[in-house]
Amino acid sequence: MLASTPFIAPGGVFAIQPPIPVPTPVQAYSVHGSQKELIAILKKNLPEEVRPLTTNEEQDIAAILSVNYRVQVAPRVKGIRLNRTYGLIGQEQHLPRYPGDSINDQLTSEEDANLYAKYGMTAGKGAWGYFANSRGELSKEDIEREKYYIAVQTFLAPGWDEHVSEYRDFFKYRKMLVVNPENGKAVVADIADAGPGASTGKHLGGSPEVMKYLERFDGKQRGPVLYFFVDDKNGTIPLGPVNI
């Protein structure tokens, strides 16, 4: 809506000012690079309890994240969504990238080994199998997908039981923006596994690298995060940390 305000023009003739644009939601949610202000805005717009967001809350949060991280996000794509966009994240292990993969193959630097080796590797493959058929076929994209992966409750997505094949293809390596609202840290991650089970009390899981960057170190703390689909039709948005 546009606002108009009368004023006295020279000569005493009444005139009307040019329309003054009312800030759009996106403009109103911009914090111009201030992480502290972003954290305050998120806190103001999020409920005190970690629960599924309402439609209006999701729209507001999507606008806040999109403008401040300069990555267009949405809670729903092509009519498909997860069961929630605000939940508790827990620690996941590394995933094998190809048959015979090992922690030593993944963590090639001493620094990475010291940071992440303790989390180990899952005995089984991710929800969509190996990232590559062999070590020789492992690409940089495969390496990044495992490094910055998340596990989400695909099996609880509305419509999953009726559209298993379609939804499975949709969620495979789908990019999401994952945000720790308590410190403003965010990472673009890809969906590479399904879980955790509903009985765990957690709603998604993050790779060791994702958890460390978000400062969600321990699975027991089950810290809250926001997670929205990234609009990356052209495949140009890289996985990894995102700054405001």
122 lies in some domain: yes
**Into how many domains does the chain fold?**
1
> CA 17, 22, 28 angle in degrees (round to 5)?
145
**Mean pLDDT for the chain overall:** 89
Q: Which of 148, 146, 137, 139 is nearest to 103 (CA)?
A: 146
36 lies in some domain: no
35-45 helix and 55-69 helix, angle to the nearest 10 degrees? 170
Provide the 10 A C-beta neighbour count for residue 72: 17
Q: For position 148, which CATH number holds?
A: 2.40.40.10
- The confidence score (pLDDT) of residue 217 equals 72
pLDDT digits (tens, 9 = 90+) for 93-123: 999 999 999 999 999 999 999 999 999 999 9
Q: Does the pLDDT at position 12 exceed 80? A: no
Domain of 237, in residue numbers: 48-242
16 lies in some domain: no
pLDDT digits (tens, 9 = 90+) for 46-87: 999 999 999 999 999 999 999 999 999 999 999 999 999 999
211 lies in some domain: yes
43 lies in some domain: no
pLDDT digits (tens, 9 = 90+) for 211-240: 999 998 766 667 999 999 999 999 999 999
6 lies in some domain: no
By the 8 A CB rule, do 128 and 173 touch? yes
User: Facing residues of 175 across strands?
Assistant: 190
82 lies in some domain: yes
By the 8 A CB rule, do 224 and 202 touch? no
Q: In the chain, pLDDT over 70 holds for what percent of residues?
A: 85
pLDDT digits (tens, 9 = 90+) for 167-184: 999 999 999 999 999 999
108 lies in some domain: yes
Mean pLDDT of 4-33: 45
